[in-house]
Structure 1
């Protein structure tokens, strides 16, 4: 493979997921990931500080999409409607590759406590991004936190429901249905 071939970041993620699945997270080295991806170790470290961060590769982009969707929601949108706009924006970027990697990522995370910690931090980061975007819309703090946490839960549930589907089925309807289910469930809390 050419030294400067495009897509190194994506190849590194794919290689890591494959190796984590084949031999486990702890047994996989950065050198093996780089070799499988057809890049050097220095290229790996230009993209990721360590192998643990591979599994959060798209977190910043996802946070940005969630925030943009919330920010651009209609002015009169409720906090959950704004979160729904963010979820729709973020989930619209996910396709067959995300569906293909999902089960393997889930298995790798479930098999390693360090990755479980990183995954939990990713969820905290997504909730924080949504909370900040809601606060910028003058949503009161406690309501912003609650709506953001429901958004994270809806994304996780919708993603899990979407994974077994086939073809070009979009993720957004699954995530929005999960958000609606959660919204309806909150009514029974009072």
Structure 2
């Protein structure tokens, strides 16, 4: 009896170990998980994130995460990362969006847009704010698109805060008259509202040469 009890105990322990390992593998690829680390996403009804690394390892549960968020030798070989999210209720005064990430080692551009959802799929969405970081020119261009027509671009900056391989925190503050943009807590620029219906700006898109770590 003692021998039978010991054999059953070993089998039960082995089954529990396999079950625990299976659950841990399933958790590794839950929605919202980034292969660079955990992408924290808050305040958005629907969102998606696409990365070239995911396509390279798609279907493989044995893929391992990167060791760190920066300093990777293959960073410049990756395609641009893209994030899209729905802003509940649209933009409104006193609302703030936070975007945190790490710039790639050999960046060309990063783009952030706030846009409306078109009534028809073939229609072009209005863009209330487009921020385009141009690393070769060390510029941050701001613009808006209404009815399919882009207005004049604004480029004035007090400083250029982005650097290859460095982390950053961008804040977009919606005020009554303008969007105010801060980077790492320092005022960067402003953009006077050209889109009268702020509440219709329900889509946030972040695209470019970066690794996102948080969107809130």
TM band (smaller chain): 0.3 to 0.5
TM-score by length of 1: 0.32
> Structure 1 or 2: larger helix share?
1
> Structure 1 or 2: larger strand share?
2
Higher relative contact order (CA 8 A, sep 6+): 2
Compare CA radii of gyration and give the structure with the larger one: 2
TM-score by length of 2: 0.29
